[in-house]
Structure 1
Amino acid sequence: MKPRTTTQQGESPPRSVFLLAFDLRKERPANRRELGYLLRAAALAELMTSGSLADESGKARAVTAPADPGPLQAAVWEQIAGSPPRSWRSWIHKDRSQAYRLVRDELAAARLIRVERHRVLLFPVERVTPRKPYLSRRLAEHVARAVHGGRPVGRLSPDVRVLAALAAAVRLKTVLPAREWHLHRRRVEELSAPIEPITTALRQNVEAAASSDAGG
């Protein structure tokens, strides 16, 4: 029997992205500002690679309803199927906070993370802790190897390839230091090819948000 890849051990792309983005050393998600974008993009990537969505002149087009989608994937599908065609960038930008909550609650229900809530000076504070930290560590190892180019892109697990492409679009710090991502630009282009409209839109959203913050 063929061994299951790390991302196939019960983890959809949004769930894998959430676990991959968790910084075990700092005990909190890395790239927190971009995580909502990243989760929405992961849901879109899953729907696209499974044939539920297609790219039509830079816009997402609903093709067929997904079978047994996760909560975020179901929400994204319903939005796209019930709306006029819109750009991938607009779908990644939409409802980012909800995306975080849906995936967080899904992982908590699966007992893969622990969510603790308390108040500090009357302000609500949330602490998220992985119950199986080795999953985050192993995902980071698989994705880093995919980016470094140890194997031809065509021989990589499709799930790992998608994760690597999405991580590259936001320069995810749990995979590589931000300053090192540019060294792998050509490899990232190969990894991103199957979901290029999504990774391009994700990168544009992140860059626009950074520019807005700098201008503010």
Structure 2
Amino acid sequence: METRAKQGESLARSAFLLALDPRKERLTQRGELGLLLRAAALAELLLAGNLADESGRARALTAPAAEPGSLRAVVWEQIASSPPRSWRRWVRKDKGKAVGVVRDELAAARMISVERRRVLLFPVERITARKAYLSRRLAERVGRAVRGGGPVGRLDEDVRVLAALAAAARLRTVVPSRREARPRRDRIRQLSAPVEPIVTALRRSVDEARSASAAG
């Protein structure tokens, strides 16, 4: 996909850009974003044949051709050095670090600029997409994939998977509310098919995070 290639050829990087609110110049749902980014990295590894699903567990196969220190490389190394464990475990592991890793990848690739300052002693990041039109185009394509308008089989694989992951995470820049996602359950299920165990793990992890947050 042309848009994705220009954004760094990474599902995790594209997912980060989808979560960036261009008007507020900050990330939406930052507390849950690490789950989405980890799931995106896992999905990319599964689709590329670097990982396999073994009865609901992730098993490492061949090493990816990924930049050392990238989220994809980090995730694969963690799985390769461990016995097969559930997808849910790998979606949740080190989720807090994932946002910083992908942010730094995008900044190094000059896809975003990051301005750090303090407001009332609290650190604040202002994140700006350097090529905002590419981010908007990607968001439009992913949003259309969720809403329908064409057979799922005709979608580019990365758009299809990003749409499934964004819906599972209920990413507000793509799916504004659960009510909007409800009538599209069958569509989302079709979108999720290539990476279904990861989408399920992400959805459950996001639900758990929200329940824990609501409980205080």
Are positions 1:6 and 2:7 aligned together?
A: no
**Aligned-partner Cα distance in 1 for 2:24–2:102:** 21
Are positions 1:31 and 2:29 aligned together?
A: yes
Larger deviation, residues 131-140 vs 61-70? 61-70
Amino acid paired to 2:95: R
For 2:126, the equivalent position in structure 1 comes to 127
Q: How many residues align?
A: 213
Amino acid paired to 1:34: E
**Aligned-partner Cα distance in 2 for 1:27–1:13:** 21
Structure 1 pair 44/69, CA: closer, same or farther in 2 (3 Å)? Answer: farther
Are positions 1:113 and 2:112 aligned together?
A: yes
Larger deviation, residues 193-202 vs 140-149? 140-149
How far off its partner does 1:69 sit? Answer: 4.5
Q: Deviations over 1:7-32 (max 9, x none)?
A: 23233100100111111123221222
**Aligned-partner Cα distance in 2 for 1:69–1:146:** 29
Amino acid paired to 1:60: A
How far off its partner does 1:135 sit? Answer: 1.8
For 1:46, the equivalent position in structure 2 comes to 44
For 1:20, the equivalent position in structure 2 comes to 18
Are positions 1:206 and 2:199 aligned together?
A: no
**Aligned-partner Cα distance in 2 for 1:5–1:35:** 24
Percent of residue pairs bearing the same amino acid type: 67
How far off its partner does 1:112 sit? Answer: 0.9
Larger deviation, residues 111-120 vs 200-209? 111-120
How far off its partner does 1:121 sit? Answer: 3.4
TM-score normalized with structure 2 length? 0.94
Query: Which consecutive residues of structure 1, in runs of 5 or more, have no partner in the other structure?
Result: none
Amino acid paired to 2:201: A
How far off its partner does 1:115 sit? Answer: 0.8
For 2:197, the equivalent position in structure 1 comes to 197
CA contact (8 A) 2:15 2:36 kept: yes
Larger deviation, residues 80-89 vs 60-69? 60-69
**Aligned-partner Cα distance in 2 for 1:22–1:124:** 18
Return structure 1 stretches of 4+ with deviation > 3 angstroms.
Answer: none
Amino acid paired to 2:193: A
SS in 1 for 2:127: strand
TM-score normalized with structure 1 length? 0.94
**Aligned-partner Cα distance in 2 for 1:30–1:123:** 18
Query: Which consecutive residues of structure 2, in runs of 5 or more, have no partner in the other structure?
Result: none
**Aligned-partner Cα distance in 1 for 2:93–2:193:** 24
CA contact (8 A) 1:62 1:77 kept: yes
Q: How does 1:58-207 map to 2 (within 5 A)?
A: 58-69=56-67, 71-178=70-177, 179-207=179-207
